[in-house]
Structure 1
Amino acid sequence: MITRPNPAPGNNRWDAKAYQQFSRLRQRPVNELLDRVQLKHPKCIYDLGCGTGIATQLLAKRWPRARLMGVDSSEQMLSEARGLPIKAMWKHCDLLDWQPEQPADLLLAAAVLHFVTGHEQLLPGLLGQLNPGGCLAAHMPDWRDALWYQLMLETLESGGPDGAPLGSLELRQRMAARPLLSLEDYYRLLAPITRTLDIWETEQLQVVDGKSPIYDWVKVSALRPVMQGLKDDELTRFIYHYLMRVHKHYPPEHDGRTLFPFKRIFIVATV
């Protein structure tokens, strides 16, 4: 069963400006992904979860004659994207409600599918929206075993008064869920319904600047359900205790920068 994130009622905003803080590093995996896409002249391209248009710009540059549409569930993100000097259309829509206006030659999903569970149904469904010879290209942060993510879970479990949990049981269970499959399971799922299939995993040693750069990175993406799901007093405690843990385990280097290993799964599937 496919399920979508469940943000706090009335609080589905994204901080587009903060997301742009590390735009250069966020662009790097998109370049790595597109380097493996072999399409010559795709006519119809959708950038799913386009956000502020970091990947959409690269698509417009590589295939300037293609019909290009960015799709995102956040009006704040799309407001930033609409200001880009590129030829593209923009659609405000949740990924799970999206239906293409016409079959696609390329579906790009950069850092979005990991927010949705039920990949056994989701990915074959996306492949079904492609023209023959079309391609699904996706990269997904794989952070569930990362130290900074485990520190977040630890803070939720014991960051309250006298070591009590923070937030609801549903929030803690949702953050502990593991929506991504193994590389082998992605192959077993997609190989029978694709013509070519390329799956790989990388871990990039991101070198980030700032006083609390890891927190600044994850608060607008991975930790967004936590930031929205806690009451004000709980959120204050969470931020304090989480920052204490992160600063202890990710101290700055002698040059003042912080080392931030980041793992991703990549899929390029052609039907």
Structure 2
Amino acid sequence: MVDWDAGQYLKFEDERTRPSLDLLRRVPLEAATNCVDLGCGPGNSTELITRRYPAARIVGLDNSPDMLAKARMRLPGLHFEEADIATWETSERFDLIFANAVLQWLPDHPALLKRLVSFLKEGGCLAVQMPNNLNEPTHRLMAQVAQDGPWAEKLSSAARSRETIGSFENYYGWLQQAGCSVDIWQTTYVHPLDGAASIVEWFKSTGLKPYIDPLSPEERAEFLRRYQVAVLEAYRAQGDGKVLLRFPRLFFVAQRR
């Protein structure tokens, strides 16, 4: 994919930060000395960790130069590194590995989680949140527009760019096998947005990227036009003119025994 656009992502900063805050609240560690924020993006989640553990050494990792640039501007006192989480290895051991809205892009979750848990200290926590919205109209319509347009062949693999999220039982079992106690839950957020165009703007920086990044500017404009028409049908306006974006997210906090 083309590099992530931090400015586009931050158009909905408050809504995107809320799951990070909810996840961090469930981390049972009273203190931490060494933390890493995987897929730190523009630093909004990293900032929450600094507030919770002000004495800790905190590192942010991301594969996007644009996101890292924004994170460094936001938190100039912290260390941020460009890294591919899919292959990331470290000799360090962490009290907290925080991964908000990033692992859904990576394959083979059983092996991935086992590797991440191995980087925890005894008693350390792996805290994860992943969007679980592939069955929502927003994502079903992306795939439909991709299949029905003149770009169908070009976008034939776009729907497979995100990992299908497993069940509660899957993650509980994988993390138990990795030697962790597990707290797992799901929350469906409901975001009142200013019409179908706002839903399109929301996903332009995330879910739509595998579909629109391969397209020419003309194709991209037409894809987004068709997608917005479809979204308008699926998300009817409320009495105040808002549309309600349902957004399920899966969470877990795994503590290494």
What is the match of residue 259 of structure 1? 244
What is the match of residue 203 of structure 1? 188
Q: List aligned pairs for 1:239-254, cutoff 5 A.
A: 239-254=224-239
**With structure 2 as the length reference, what TM-score do the two structures score?**
0.93
Does the Cα contact within 8 Å between 2:33 and 2:56 map onto a contact in 1? Answer: yes
Paired with 1:88 and 1:165, the residues of 2 have a C-alpha distance of: 43
Q: How many residue pairs were aligned? A: 256
Q: List aligned pairs for 1:166-177, cutoff 5 A.
A: 167-172=154-159, 174-175=160-161
Specify whether residues 260 and 13 from structure 1 end up closer, same or farther in structure 2 by C-alpha distance, changes over 3 A only. Answer: same
Paired with 1:252 and 1:236, the residues of 2 have a C-alpha distance of: 24
Mark the runs of 5 or more structure 2 residues left unpaired by the alignment.
none
User: SS state of the match for residue 52, structure 1?
Assistant: coil
User: SS state of the match for residue 244, structure 2?
Assistant: strand
What is the match of residue 34 of structure 2? 44
| 2:44 corresponds to 1:70 | no
| 2:179 corresponds to 1:189 | no
Shift of 1:120: 1.4
Specify whether residues 113 and 223 from structure 1 end up closer, same or farther in structure 2 by C-alpha distance, changes over 3 A only. Answer: same
**With structure 1 as the length reference, what TM-score do the two structures score?**
0.89
| Structure 1 residue ranges (4+ consecutive) displaced by more than 6 angstroms after TM superposition | none
What is the match of residue 220 of structure 1? 205
Q: What do residues 121-144 of structure 1 show as CA deviations (whole Å, max 9, x unaligned)?
A: 111110011111111000000111
Q: What do residues 206-248 of structure 1 show as CA deviations (whole Å, max 9, x unaligned)?
A: 1123661111111100111112122344323311211110112
Q: List aligned pairs for 1:66-145, cutoff 5 A.
A: 66-85=56-75, 87-100=77-90, 102-145=92-135
Mark the runs of 5 or more structure 1 residues left unpaired by the alignment.
1-6
Q: What do residues 4-45 of structure 1 show as CA deviations (whole Å, max 9, x unaligned)?
A: xxx2xxxx3111111011110111111111111011111100
Alignment RMSD, CA only? 1.8
What is the match of residue 29 of structure 1? 19
Which of 15, 31, 34 aligns to 2:5? It is: 15
Does the Cα contact within 8 Å between 1:190 and 1:197 map onto a contact in 2? Answer: yes
Q: Percent identity?
A: 34
Specify whether residues 246 and 61 from structure 1 end up closer, same or farther in structure 2 by C-alpha distance, changes over 3 A only. Answer: same
Specify whether residues 79 and 204 from structure 1 end up closer, same or farther in structure 2 by C-alpha distance, changes over 3 A only. Answer: same
Paired with 1:210 and 1:61, the residues of 2 have a C-alpha distance of: 34
Moved more, 184-193 or 18-27: 184-193
Paired with 1:229 and 1:85, the residues of 2 have a C-alpha distance of: 33
